[in-house]
Amino acid sequence: MAASRIDTFKAMLESEPDNVLVRFGLANEYLKAERYEDAIDALNDYLQRADDEG
């Protein structure tokens, strides 16, 4: 199940590469799937692209 959700988020990123919420969602799916290295990479990518809201 998690693999199909990961694939869905990856497909969404192909069509919307600047969508930071999709990147955050992908990171969460990696965490759920216990793919921690992928989650770290996705979260770092999210943090680099996200606007500073604080």
Picking from 3, 24, 4, the residue whose alpha carbon sits closest to that of residue 13 is 24
Q: Which residues contact 24 (CB under 8 A, 6 or more apart)?
A: 43, 46, 50
Number of structural domains in the chain: 1
pLDDT confidence bin for 1, thresholds 50/70/90 = low
What is the pTM (predicted TM-score) of this model? Answer: 0.86
Confirm whether 47 is domain-assigned. yes
Model confidence at 53: pLDDT above 90 = no
Confirm whether 42 is domain-assigned. yes
Backbone angles phi, psi at 16, to 5 degrees: -135, 70
Query: What domain range includes position 47?
Result: 6-12+20-54
Q: 2-49: per-residue pLDDT in tens?
A: 779 999 999 999 999 989 999 999 999 999 999 999 999 999 999 999
Instruction: Specify whether the CB–CB gap between 26 and 10 falls below 8 A.
Output: yes
Confirm whether 25 is domain-assigned. yes
Q: How far is residue 38's CA from residue 6's CA, in Å, rounded to a whole number?
A: 11
Confirm whether 31 is domain-assigned. yes
Confirm whether 28 is domain-assigned. yes
Confirm whether 1 is domain-assigned. no
What does the DSSP 8-state code read for residue 23? H
Confirm whether 27 is domain-assigned. yes
